[in-house]
Amino acid sequence: MEANASERKLLKTGTTTVGIVTKDGVVMGADQRATMGHLIAHKDTQKLFRIDNHLAMTIAGGVGDAQVLVRWLKSEVDLYKLKRGTEISVRAASTLMANILNQNKFSPFYVQLLVGGVDLEGNHIYSLDAAGGSIPDKFVTTGSGSVFVYGVLEDHYKDDMSLDEGLDLAVRGLTAAMKRDSASGDGMNVCTITRKEGYRQILKEDLEKRKKKLGLR
């Protein structure tokens, strides 16, 4: 990710994010490192955000732009629920964010986003670009470390994988990126979203246990 317009030439932060659809729900995650050139500027950067109990978003790109968009989407989702008495669908939330990005494409937000969650239609992950493109997929990864994650996802993803298998795959992919991409690192934030439990943040100690079980360093 990189900073807002006034800082963009000074601060750039690399990112690895991932979203995976499983038969039980979705898994989303991101690393925690922010860099400024060759300097590691922050080691606990939040790139995974709960939007609602059934919906989350990851960010890559301009820090200021991304934070504004997180607040914007959360406000719109809360307003939708207040007006209609029901939760917004994942597709509608993704389309809403895509429209916001598209309306500003000539003065774009410097971001690449993942919007994911569960609703009555199923389990979904959408990848959004700065011009407002919104593409659903079974698995997707963004940021400077994404090339390493895609190698893991392409090799291990299965259509009928369980939520636990999806967690293993997300942890394996993020770990691979943090080993090879110098702009990604310093731990990870991972969540699961299911119809039964909603949004659940995975504890750091549980992630470490999972890494140990998988034989990852």
User: Are the CB atoms for 184 and 32 separated by under 8 Å?
Assistant: no
Instruction: Write down all domains in the chain, each with its CATH number in brackets.
Output: 17-214 (3.60.20.10)
Distance CA(12)–CA(39), nearest Å, equals 10
CA angle (23, 54, 194) in 5-degree steps:
30
User: Are the CB atoms for 42 and 34 separated by under 8 Å?
Assistant: yes
Q: Token digits for 208?
A: 């470490």
The confidence score (pLDDT) of residue 9 equals: 40
pLDDT tens across the length of the chain (217 residues): 544 444 444 344 468 999 999 999 999 999 988 776 677 777 888 999 999 999 999 998 877 888 999 999 999 999 999 999 999 999 999 999 999 999 988 889 989 999 999 999 999 999 999 999 999 999 999 988 899 999 999 999 999 999 999 999 999 999 999 988 777 877 899 999 999 999 999 999 999 999 999 999 7
In the annotation, is 15 catalytic?
A: yes
42 residue type, one letter: H
Q: Compute the 3-state secondary structure of the chain and give helix, strand, coil in percent, each to the nearest 5.
A: 35, 30, 35
Active-site option among 13, 15, 142, 175: 15
